[in-house]
Amino acid sequence: MLSITGLTIACAAIYYSTHGCLADTQIVGGTNAPDGMYPYQVSLKDASNGRHFCGGAIVSKKYIITAAHCLAGRRYPSDIQIGVGSNNLQSQIIYTADALIIHDNYNKTQYPNDIGLIKLSKDITFNKTITSTAIISDNKNFEGVRLQVSGWGRLWAGGPVPVRLQHVTVRGYSQKSCAAIYAPDITDGHICTLESRGKGVCNGDSGGALTYGDKLVGIVSFGVPCAEGYPDVFTRVYYYRDWVNKYINAANN
């Protein structure tokens, strides 16, 4: 059985057979995403130095969805900046956080319920390069289905963080087979992907979006670094739609 390590800036969301602590996850084997593609994708930055440490996705003018482990350990909302509006990390518009919301049942040991929200200090102004994504409306079986994952994670284990957003096509993987590899940590709240060796997520992609068309399917949670032929595991956002919508709807009322 593989052991688990969380995806944070200090310990990437990855399984690691020796409980090793790695840096954050990234896209391996991807290409530069064209300008304007993934207008909902955001970069979470350390406010003290402006460095990217996790991804996220815009789900309303007021809220960003990300992985809980990206927020755990951050003492104050002011610790995080949110970069939007450009696939170039150096050209983003910066928003600040008003509140960090971690799922009540998140467990940093085994990573169930690895989902969180950032409430922004002010509403995002939408335009052609900044908009929200919607959570997929059904609990589709994605086994064998092509999906897109994007992020600014490292280009290989220990490699550089790209300035340009990377994206790669991956395929949904059998839930049963994924559970056999990562038992007992796979639940109905997860979705797994597996592409050919050399394509997948790694350190720095945590919290980033897995999409089907323009719909949000998952957010990067954990896996074995980096694209070494093991499944990548995402939080299945549909499973948490009521929890997410509770906050979005309250902000709209």
Catalytic entry in 43, 60, 150, 206: 206
Selected catalytic residue, list 24, 43, 103, 114: 114
Distance between CA atoms of residues 224 and 202, nearest Å: 8
- By DSSP bridging, strand 215-223 and strand 134-135 are parallel
Phi, then psi, of 76 in degrees rounded to 5: -130, 150
Q: Residue 159 is encoded by which pair of tokens?
A: 């490699």
Cα(53)–Cα(48) distance, rounded to whole angstroms?
12
Pairing of strands 31-32, 25-28: unpaired
Calculate the dihedral angle through the C-alpha atoms of 174, 176, 181, 187, rounding to the nearest 10 degrees.
100
Match 């059998």 to its residue by tokens: 174
103 is an active site residue? no
Residue 127: name the closest of 170, 86, 168 by CA: 86
Q: Which of 52, 69, 103, 167 is catalytic?
A: 69
Question: How many other CB atoms are found less than 10 A from the CB of residue 167?
Answer: 22
- Which of 131, 217, 127, 116 has the alpha carbon at shortest distance from 170? 217
User: Is 69 among the residues known to form the active site?
Assistant: yes
Q: Which of 43, 36, 19 is nearest to 151 (CA)?
A: 43
b/e burial code for range 199-213 (CB count within 10 A of at least 16 → b): bbbbbbbbbbbbbbe
How long, in residues, is the chain?
253
Q: Does residue 221 have an active-site annotation? A: no
Catalytic residues: 69, 114, 206
